[in-house]
């Protein structure tokens, strides 16, 4: 059983919404509205495989709530994908966009597939086939997909091209996370991690942690996790002592060179076996005594079963939904500071928003502008959440939900959807 299958992340998020709603005077009807997606589409995508046989792939697009603007959210390719995970991810996108105050609602999509088993040709056909199926639902003013687990800028390029062909003209603003030469934004490649690094810097200031001597462990070494490791070392000089991926992990007390580990993973398919490092399992990684631990893989990896073993001072949630609700309370009581996912990983959607704005204007920004504006958004939001959490004596997650729910409810009221 994979980590993500152990619990239903959509149930988790409904529980999180309820917890925060207890601090707001929301009627039962409004609460129910906030806990359900607005629209869901389930699709079947036929792909002619390289051996000539037809294979049918199942996919989804969930539009959770668009009260604050067009829907926004990534597309995930994963063999264990399911509708409840996509619902949960679409819900998190809604709260994330509201929390960092960008004019988007939330959505998410996914295809049940194992991209590691597909040829480039099959992957392209699947990406285009998905867009053919969800074409009516998406558009620069309707719903804007982006990359997520096991999708990348090449997949986004195919998807944007397919949509543009169907429209009959170029529509760069329909997809974000595109390659630079097709209207992508400077700084999008590392935006999720960079936003996480800015959030960690703010947490370190609050907790008096010196990041230049801090130790860091990273679970998941894809786009988010690898850039997190690289930037923590490059910007602050922090020591990355452990890294894992789906096949297992590595540990080195003296510190790992994250760029060398990435090179090794790209060559061999895993971080495991990296020269001069000891092996650790994904479970052992949680037990390491570190200043900062960063889940950057899938949902539900910190549960009531392993939360007692966590020895970190800060959990920087780059992954969506890594902590189950019952573990949250235990972490709060243990005084472990959690930077909640929809704040910690918001850098990705913030720069996606910048990309969309640049596409609509047809005027690209420089890297410095992107980084400066990203830093401002994350730092400002972090301080707002921190102040509310201190005021109400609640954890950062509940405080973040209180802000996000209030903004979405206000938009729904102004539109006349609710009283």
Catalytic residue annotation: 108
* Smallest distance from ligand NAD to CB 149, Å: 4
Give the per-residue SS3 of 17-86: HHHHHCCCCCCHHHHHHHCCCCEEEEEEEEEECCCCCEEEEEEEEEEEECCCCCEEEEEEEECCCCHHHH
Residues in region 122-161 near ligand NAD by CB under 6 A: 147-150
Query: Judged by CB under 6 A, does residue 219 bind ligand NAD?
Result: yes
Nearest to ligand NAD of 30, 370 (CB atom): 370
Virtual torsion, Cα 371, 377, 379, 385, nearest 10 deg: -160
Binding-site member from 64, 95, 163, 221 for ligand NAD (CB under 6 A): 221
Quick check: helix, strand or coil at residue 110? Answer: strand
Query: Judged by CB under 6 A, does residue 9 bind ligand NAD?
Result: no
Nearest to ligand NAD of 37, 110 (CB atom): 110
Tell me which stretch binds ligand NAD (CB under 6 A): 62-70, 240-248, 256-264, 354-362.
240-248
Nearest to ligand NAD of 292, 412 (CB atom): 292
Binding mask 308-327 for ligand NAD (x = CB under 6 A): ----------xxx-------
Query: Judged by CB under 6 A, does residue 264 bind ligand NAD?
Result: no
- Torsion region of 150: left, alpha or beta (phi above 0 gives left; psi -120 to 50 gives alpha): left
How crowded is the C-beta side of 281, counted as CA atoms within 13 Å? 2
Counting residues that bind ligand NAD (by CB under 6 A) gives 25
Query: Judged by CB under 6 A, does residue 224 bind ligand NAD?
Result: yes
Give CA–CA dist 187/358, Å, rounded. 13
* Smallest distance from ligand NAD to CB 38, Å: 21
Residue 281 CB-density burial (10 A; 0-12 exposed, 13-18 middle, 19+ buried) = exposed
Query: Judged by CB under 6 A, does residue 109 bind ligand NAD?
Result: no
Tell me which stretch binds ligand NAD (CB under 6 A): 12-20, 99-107, 218-226, 327-335.
218-226
Query: The tokens of 248 are what?
Result: 């297992």
C-alpha pair distances (Å), 56 with each of 1, 46, 83, 95: 24, 4, 17, 33
Nearest to ligand NAD of 17, 297 (CB atom): 297
Query: Which of 102, 71, 66 shows the shortest CA–CA distance to 377?
Result: 102
Q: Residues in the site for ligand NAD, rule: CB under 6 A?
A: 3, 147-150, 192, 219-225, 244-246, 282, 296-298, 318-320, 345, 348
């Amino acid at each position: 059983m994979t980590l993500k299958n152990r619990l239903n992340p959509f149930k988790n998020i409904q529980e999180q919404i309820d917890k925060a709603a207890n601090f707001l005077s929301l009627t039962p009807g409004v609460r129910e509205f906030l806990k359900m997606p607005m629209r869901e589409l389930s699709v079947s995508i036929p792909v002619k495989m390289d051996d000539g046989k037809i294979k049918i792939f199942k996919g989804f697009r969930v539009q959770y709530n668009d009260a604050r603007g067009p829907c926004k959210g990534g597309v995930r390719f994963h063999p264990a994908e399911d509708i409840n995970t996509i619902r949960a991810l679409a819900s998190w996108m809604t709260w994330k966009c509201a929390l960092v105050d960008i004019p988007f609602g939330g959505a998410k999509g996914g295809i049940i597939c194992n991209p590691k088993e597909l040829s480039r040709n099959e992957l392209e056909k699947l990406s285009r086939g998905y867009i053919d199926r969800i074409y009516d639902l998406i558009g620069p003013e309707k719903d804007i997909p982006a990359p997520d687990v096991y999708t990348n800028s090449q997949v986004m390029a195919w998807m944007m091209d397919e949509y543009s062909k169907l429209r009959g003209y170029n529509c760069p603003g329909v997809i974000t996370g595109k390659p630079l030469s097709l209207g992508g934004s400077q700084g999008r490649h590392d935006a999720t991690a960079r936003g996480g690094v800015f959030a960690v810097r703010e947490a370190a200031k609050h907790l008096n942690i010196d990041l230049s001597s801090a130790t860091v462990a990273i679970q998941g070494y894809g786009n988010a996790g690898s850039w997190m490791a690289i930037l923590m070392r490059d910007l602050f000089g922090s020591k990355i002592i452990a890294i894992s991926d789906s096949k297992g992990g590595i540990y080195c007390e003296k510190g790992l060179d994250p760029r060398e580990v990435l090179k090794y993973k790209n060559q061999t398919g895993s971080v495991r076996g990296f020269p001069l490092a000891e092996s650790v399992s994904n479970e052992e990684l949680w037990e390491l005594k570190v200043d900062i631990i960063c889940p950057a893989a899938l949902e539900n990896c910190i549960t009531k079963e392993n939360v007692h073993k966590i020895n970190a001072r800060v959990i920087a949630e780059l992954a969506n939904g890594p902590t189950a609700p019952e573990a949250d309370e235990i972490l709060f009581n243990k005084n472990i500071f959690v930077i909640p996912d929809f704040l910690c990983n918001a850098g990705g959607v913030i720069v996606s928003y910048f990309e969309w704005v640049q596409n609509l204007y047809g005027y690209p920004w420089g890297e410095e502008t992107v980084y400066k504006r990203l830093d401002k958004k994350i730092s400002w939001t972090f301080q707002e959440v921190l102040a509310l959490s201190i005021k109400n004596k609640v954890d950062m997650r509940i405080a973040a939900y209180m802000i996000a729910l209030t903004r979405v409810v206000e938009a729904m009221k102004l539109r006349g959807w609710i009283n």
